[in-house]
Structure 1
């Protein structure tokens, strides 16, 4: 039996097609749907296996600066809301940035001074109490940082989005070509080769209407650096037993 015949059909036409169900792709899909667009997410894998799913799940907020800090703070609120809505865990455990050299500690001192209570400078004993790093000169505690299980979070968000009207997530479906037309673009996928016929899209294709762009909803999950010439180490906080 053709595996594609067991998959639900693709919508004939949507406002937005997103390729890839990682953090960036799902962020665009969630935001686009929230703005009233019909959305289709295509991912060649059966479940999340990309770069986001393989990362540690650290949502770095406090070490961002200027415009990036404003985006990170908005992103933090969206992670927390999506955790509640989609039913995945978002730990408000913070993070510890560890400094092993004097210049690193000086950078962290400047960071704490500029964050108005959203970062706390730590001495070496406090770092050892919070982490498994025994030889640090000091560090900083960043209480606004979050931690998620990336694969579980992406799966939950994709499944949650797929339950909404005018939102579709197609796993095991690769985007192959984008054929621009008058007022719409035909997206051909791995579900088969067909040519357009009449006003409806053929099997394995979806038409995308012209629409406005939607902004990413989240910052990425990854380790952060403190901006010094040496790269500081970011360490998860040891949670109470």
Structure 2
């Protein structure tokens, strides 16, 4: 008990931590998405961002569980703004003329290249999916009277991930790949997100239970 008291943090501190994590995961996911990899040598090609993306919804669930829908929206919009700043900064750096002797401009553009459709799809999908995820999470929590965390965590993700995947895949890839490839990409992306969040559900449970003990509900100060 003494250790728990020493580790206690205020609601404001916890909220700041969740906001920072949400923004970081979104930015890193978008950067990591420039790397494509063969999933366990199965021939299924995924982007690197798929590894981290489920964490954004887990963070969203934890934020909604502790702070409700309205404050979670602040986290979502803050993450959106931070990602937009990162994208603009990288774009500005990209269009700056390369220095004498620096021969990596093409490599930089290949890895960090500003791709309007992908960036637009990512940002719009993130905000839409996350807000819907949080809204559904709260509604399920009301219906179940605060019981069965797993039901609201998975239930909200089923809806939020679907909207997120539909919006991103449509904006980023429609017209650039065949209909068959588009449908396949849509299904694989959606199933992988849900599978990732389901596998990590015990971790989410543990984090929620730990912070319910560590967060001081009587203080808001940062």
Q: TM-score, normalising length from structure 2?
A: 0.26
Larger helix fraction of residues: 2
Larger strand fraction of residues: 1
Structure with bigger gyration radius: 1
Q: TM-score, normalising length from structure 1?
A: 0.24
